[in-house]
Structure formats: structure tokens, C-alpha cells
Structure 1
């Protein structure tokens, strides 16, 4: 704020004649104004938005093949939130997973760009299966065994990270004041279903994959899901600035041939952004044991249907939005760094044997490198970050891995209505699937072999951390 000269010295002629005590008192009043008024202005919240291309080049490795075509472009998009505290960065990337040293590099680069700390940066993947894997520790392990470059293009990965960091810097320079935060939600019709179908003995009888034509899997009930798509928006009075959406499911319709796509969740997000003219950022919830399998036969036509259902839910959630005023005092960031107990199914010696074995298949060797990277990271450091951002009565919860839906539902119970908890999982991808304690005795793919990098005790550890950041 600037002050006119006459305010600082309203009457220069008579001021010279004021007694010393009166002049001192006047100058003290002015000094207080100079200190207090800028402090009041700093209470405003501002938001900057970034959207950066993250599409791999043709021939570059994606999750299960090399990119042979680009069906839909991929993006890394998010927001930088500025207040009277250090900036906060929330980022969602159209890749299958970002883990270990991949997470480290992403968070450090974005933190530097935002002039903040790594604990205030949250980077999530949406988990599209025709997207990219990012983990420089895995790549280094593969390189030691003659497989460097087979699953990752490090130059491309680093280029995207640098471009996103530049996008964060630009977003900060163009940040706009936020006066209100909005929340709305709507049920998604015929998309999510639980992938673990239990038999009469309480064990997994059927695993319902992302797509299926098995009549029994299709006929089985949806099972435990979170049917709600949640919508959080930032406003400058009546002008919407950005929309964040949250929904829990594996986002696959069909995949595996190298036809790069942001899948039905990303296509719906892009359609809503185009229809409204408002930046949209989508986060995948705790979808580790959730797929579209009950409603997806894996055909191109069904991808269109799933997209339409997601887009319709986004539209309805937007229509249900209600707003409340937002200032810095309504905003808080909490985090804890915790250690997730490693599964007893893996040890470094056996994993290295698989990598050394000339008869091991490529997929087996990659799975071994993936879990060895996690084991090494988890042995050396406790840097799995659990965090939350409170925006008035809405909480944005950031969690690691392919998390089971039970964690998302449990978090919501900690902050029941009129408060809301929106969960984004798939942050630190290193542990893979994270089941509940009971799930590890039920069988099924997700908690077997190398699929999960954590032990059953993870539930107690993770719930303690969730409670801490939702206080």
C-alpha cells in the first residue's frame, strides 16, 4: 500500500512547530499503520494454476510397452496456493506411478520453483496404465543388470519435471486472489466396483480386473466403493479460478499395447475444462481395490461410456457447489513423515537373484527391481509423507500407494459432515498396493507376492498418520 505525501505529513508548516512529544506520537501512529496494513493485506489467499504437457515421444517406454501412438495427450497439472505461510503445491500427473527417487526429484524441483519446502509439495499419479513410470532408483538398478532404458526414458522424465517446475514458477507470477472456496459432490453411476469378491469362507474367490467378460464377476455386487465424486473449487468473488475433482477407481478401460491415453478420467476432465473454460485438475482416490470391471468389457465403445459417466458426475458435482469465504486463517497444512513396515515377502538377496538369473523373464526382473528400489528406499529413510490441506471445512488428504478404499472411507469418518474429506492417493508409488490388515489374510492378487511392498501392520501406522493430519 502507498500513502499520499499529505497523509504522512498533513501540514508541513504546522508540523515543524509541534512539540517533540506530539511529533513522536504522530510518527508512532504512522509506523503502526505501516506495519499493520501490509499484514492485513497478507491475509489474502492466492492461487496459480499450471498445466504442462507430459506426453512421451513415440518409441519411449510406457507401463507395458513402448509408445506406438498418442490417442490422447498426457499432462501434469496442478495449483500453487499462496498465503501468509510458505507456498503449497498440489500436482496430478497422467502417469502410472511416481516413486522413490522419482518422487524425490519431482518434489524437490517443484519446491525450489515455489520457494517452499518439499513437505509442502504433493505429487500424485492418476495411474493410467498406458502412462509412464518415473523412478530413477529403479532405472539405476535395471542399468546394473543390463536393462537400462527398457522401462524408462530418463531424459524425457527430467525434461518434463523441469518444464513443470517452470510452470510452477509462472503460476506463482500470475497467481490470483481467492475469496471463496467451493465444494460439491455427485454420485458416479456404473463405474466403480470392488475388485476383491469374497467367498463364503471370507477369502477372495474372484478378482475383478479392470475389464472382464466373466459372467460371475459381472453379476457379483459392486461391493465396497466410494460412489461420490467430489469437487473443490477456488473463486475470486463470482469468478471460478480452478476446479479439483476426486474419485476412487483404477482408471483403466483397455491398455497394454502402447496407445498412450489419459483414459476415461482424463478425457472427462478435459471435456469439462473445455466446456466450462475453467482449469480442471483430477486426483485419483484410494482405488487400489477398485476397478471399473463390473461395467467394463474392455472395448473401445465402453471407454466412451465410462467417460460419459465420469463427465456427467463432474457436471452434477459442479452444479451442487456451495461456497464459503476463505482467508489465510481458514487454511492450514499438516504433514507427518512416517515409516511404512516392509512386507516379509521380499528381501534384497532373493530380488537380486531374480535380476541375475538369465532365465527370468523381463516382467519378473522389472518387478524385482521395483520392489528392490522400494526396499532400499524404505530401509534407509522414513520419508513417506502423509499430508492434508484444510480449506475452511474441506480437507484435502494426500496418501501414498495403491491404497484400499477402506482408508478413504475411514478418513471421512474422522471429519463427518458438515466437513468434507477429499482423498488423493497414488502419491509415493513405491509400496504398490496397501491393503488393510484383514486383507492380507484374505488372499487375492493385491496382497500377494510382490504386489504389495508393505506388511499387515501398515494399517495401524497409516491410520495413526491420517488421524494426525486430520486433527
Structure 2
């Protein structure tokens, strides 16, 4: 595929709007999977119980052209045709286009991977339903309830009088997963929990220490919604069959309790190579410690945002279509053989099915939408997949005049989006990425074009 980037940058900005026209609708539904449902794509123990519920939360920004939807889903991933379909359903509910819907997963692992086409592939290979990737009925129910909730929310939309953006420094959560040796190759991997003391003692590495937050206020100065952006894999421990929104979701729930009537959304940033592994040895008490630190950062940033609230002066949305090719070694015939090989683990077979789904999506030239929302001097950049943190840091450095916040884990089709050099360095992520080193240049070009246009 030579046309790697179809960069139709479609500016969907509203030229004329009055300040009192901007309204905010809010909706939330539970997204907890039922008992026995596969978790993390069927690679770990299925649902045996629920420690804390999962949710889908959304905001609808009304009054500046067609509505814009910002939504977070407590799920491991929402991929390809299912991501497109879910965006279409939310768009239909609020009277907008799918290109104006930013639907992102938080990426907990005691949660669900949604890819109906990949699930069908493993089912056709003869795996039992309980060994599949997902239950399509759960996704159908989730989409139905989300569409209904989004539609109902419009009747309770509130005028947004003031907006603010702020940040706080997050301490002792994030660390880079990839530990490089003197030869510039990966010599150690810090997964979400890391038992090896030597790996935990290694430096944090390249991370983004900042948590960015937005706040929407009514005419009386009361917060209507808060949105946070922070780059870390949001897992302390998983694989025990106990559904949990983990430390990000638990911190978010504390803010719910502290501010009744305010909707809190937590976007996971470009955390493809970022985990809590330096500060997490997998002991169960670490979940509470990480929750405390995340919650503290949220509260500090929210307080700063409230002090900086100003009237709305600008609100723009733009979107670009992005086409990234599959990795050159993802041969459809080999992928089908892997899916059908009963001697392999479910993880290997299911991962091959997810890769095959991405390859077919690319064959059909279905693009990913990369969205940008500017509100006053704040810019939200909404990216796909498990993007590496360097893209986020470079985006912020590109526009130091603006408060740039980054959300990744939108359309999860490409899985990891590493740097070109990551494939030479080795390590885990390049071996499971569905795109290759040639993806970096067009991906960066799309990000730069979006940032330069705002």
C-alpha cells in the first residue's frame, strides 16, 4: 500500500456561535460484562466476580456546529468495525457525524476486548464460545444502552459559561516499559506489575509526568464535567477473573463521590510503552497506593483548573483520515493457520485473529479518524491504538503556546504504534504491533498537520 496517509484534513469548525449557545450534555451507563464473559481478549481467566463496576461516560458539546462527542469506555480495546459502528451509533443519537465522535478505551485488562470480526475467526476455527474473544450480545446491549443514554442526555443539556485547562505533576506512577542497554537495545521489560527488583530500580525512563485536565463550568461557576488525560497503562494486577476499573477508575469514583452531579472522564494518554511497573510489584495493596497517587493528582489539577476558569472564546473541531498499512509480515494465510492451530495458546490464536481483522480492514481502505478539539487555549488530540509516549511529548513540544492534552486508545485496530527505531531496539511491543516502522512518518505528519491547523 503506497498511499499510507490519506490526509483529508476536514476542518469542521463553526465560524459563528454565541457564547450562550454552547451547552453540555452528559451521559453514563454501566459497562460491566456478565459472568463468564472473556476478559482481555480471552487470554486470561473469564469473569468470576466484580470488584468494582465498569462504565461508559460521555459528553456532548452542543452549539458550535454539529455536536462533538467525547466518551471513555472501561474496556481493554474497541477495534476496527466495532469502533466504527459504536461511533456511528453515538453520532446518530445526538445528530452528528461519526467523525465528530472521540470514543476511547481506558484500557484496563480485567475488562473486554471488542472485535466482532476477530471473534468470528476464532469461532470458525472451532474454539468453544467461552474461549472466544468476546460475546457479541454484550457489545450489542452496550451500544443500544449507550445510544439511548446519549439521546436522552440532550434534553438535560446545560449552558457552559466558563472553561479551564490545567495540569499537575504525577508522582510515582508512570515508568517506561522499555529498558535499554548500552548497545541501544531492549534488555528488560517492565510490565504493569514487575517482580524483578533490578527492573524496578532502573530509572523511570521517558515518560510524561503531567496530568492534563479540563473543566466545564455553568453560569454560577459550578463544575459540570471534568476531563483528565494521563499516560500510563491503568493496571495494578489482573488475570484473576475479578472485573475492575483498577486504580484510574477507582480514583475517578472517588472524585464522583466528592463532587456529586459532576461527570468525570479519564482518558488514557499515549501509554503504549508506559506502565506502573517501577512502582508496582503486583501485591494487591499497590492498587490502593496507585489509586491514592492518581486521585491526589486529579484533585490538585482540578483545583488549579477551577482557579483558572474563563469565559469561552473559541471552540473548534477538526479531523483527518489516517491510513496506516499492516505490518509487511502479517500474511493472511499464515494468520489463518495460526488461528486454526489447536496446539497454540488462546493468546497466540486470538492475537492472530485480531491481526487478521486489521489486515482485512486495511484491505478495505477503512481509515482511522484522528480528531482535534480546541477550546480557548486548550487542545485535545485524540489518537488511535497503543501509541508510544514520544508522540505525545513531541505534540506538546510542537505547540508550547497551547495547553496540549493527548488521548490514545481510540480505534484500537493497529494495536501498538511504536517508533521506527523501536523495531531495531527490539522488546515486546514491536513483536505484537500490527503496523511496522514505516508507520511513524505518516503518523507524525498527521499529528503535525492537526496541531499546526489549530
TM-score (norm 2): 0.92
Task: Find the residue that maps to 1:459 and give its secondary structure.
Answer: helix
Q: Deviations for 1:96-153, whole angstroms, at most 9, x for unmatched residues?
A: 0000111011111101101111100111111100011111111222222123632211
Residue 127 of structure 2 is aligned to residue 110 of structure 1: no
Residue 125 of structure 2 is aligned to residue 145 of structure 1: yes
Aligned to 1:272: 255
Aligned to 1:454: 435
Partners of 1:399 and 1:424 within 8 A in 2 = yes
Residue 406 of structure 2 is aligned to residue 423 of structure 1: yes
Partners of 2:19 and 2:161 within 8 A in 1 = no
Structure 2 residue aligned with 1:56, among 33, 37, 47?
A: 33
Residue 304 of structure 2 is aligned to residue 324 of structure 1: no
Name the CA distance, whole Å, in 1 between partners of 2:204 and 2:248.
19
Aligned to 2:450: 469
Residues 324 and 254 of structure 1: CA distance in aligned 2, closer, same or farther (over 3 Å): same
Partners of 2:321 and 2:367 within 8 A in 1 = yes
The Cα of 1:394 is off from its aligned counterpart by 0.4
Partners of 1:90 and 1:121 within 8 A in 2 = yes
Aligned to 1:286: 270
Aligned to 2:9: none
Task: Find the residue that maps to 2:90 and give its secondary structure.
Answer: helix
Partners of 1:286 and 1:408 within 8 A in 2 = yes
Structure 2 residue aligned with 1:215, among 185, 191, 197?
A: 197
Task: Find the residue that maps to 1:408 and give its secondary structure.
Answer: helix
Larger Rg: 1
Partners of 1:139 and 1:148 within 8 A in 2 = no
1:48-447 equivalences under 5 Å are: 48-63=25-40, 64-147=44-127, 149=129, 150-237=132-219, 238-277=221-260, 278-321=262-305, 322-327=308-313, 330-417=314-401, 419-447=402-430
Partners of 1:290 and 1:405 within 8 A in 2 = yes
Residues 40 and 416 of structure 1: CA distance in aligned 2, closer, same or farther (over 3 Å): closer
Stretch of structure 1 that moved more, 142-151 or 50-59: 142-151
TM-score (norm 1): 0.89
Q: Deviations for 1:166-208, whole angstroms, at most 9, x for unmatched residues?
A: 1111121111111111112111110000000100000001111
The Cα of 1:425 is off from its aligned counterpart by 0.2
Partners of 2:17 and 2:64 within 8 A in 1 = no
Name the CA distance, whole Å, in 2 between partners of 1:97 and 1:244.
20
